[in-house]
Amino acid sequence: MREISIVPINAIDAGLLTRLALCLEERFLATAVVRAPLAVPKSALNSTRGQLFFGSLVARLAAAYDTREDLVLGVTDFDLYKTSHQFVFGSSSEAQRCAVVSLQRLRSEYYGDQPDENALFQRLLKESVHEIGHALGLRHCYNARCAMYYSNSVFDTDNKHSHFCESCERRSRANKPV
């Protein structure tokens, strides 16, 4: 992977994404570039659930960006779901080299708390590292502090680190193309 394209889905705070890009560059030793927003209308939401299906969003990202050698990370305010999950903080497609993270359930306000920009950023970073890890071929880790640990709740996300444990770090290096 040479480059990570960070794609805001509609309007996402540019400062948040610029900060994310700097941290992802440091963690993955790849250039991270914030791209122009990808417009996704509210009509794309599942009208019954009020959520966006991950599969349809990743298809839009893969169609809009070349992901053969690089990786695309979409960041959205839409609440996401998958066929197998009522909601997801994010998800990824290893085959399409695309990952998406939703800010919806990472925001403190979602849980009735005061807005906390630092908590939001830390959660976004952890979930972005997690989903990029999946896009690079890593699986879930049993170490609750590892970024690859599966988050059942925002508390799991808050508890884990924004980097891989030693085992997952070794696996990520082994999976990198030469």
Among all residues, which ones are annotated catalytic? 131
Phi/psi at 121 (5° precision): -65, -45
What's this model's pTM, rounded to 2 decimal places? 0.93
Residue-wise pLDDT tens digits, 9-62: 999 999 999 999 999 999 999 999 999 999 998 888 998 999 999 999 998 998
156 CB neighbour count, 10 Å cutoff = 14
Write down the pLDDT at residue 131. Answer: 96
Evaluate if residue 160 carries a pLDDT over 60. yes
Whole-number Cα distances in Å, 94 to 49, 72, 115, 133, 145: 26, 11, 33, 9, 23
Evaluate if residue 78 carries a pLDDT over 80. yes
In a 3-state reduction of DSSP, which class is residue 71? strand
- When the pLDDT of each residue in the chain is averaged and rounded to a whole number, the result is 92
Residue 91: which residues within 8 A CB-CB, separation 6 or more? 54, 58, 80, 82, 99, 100, 131, 134
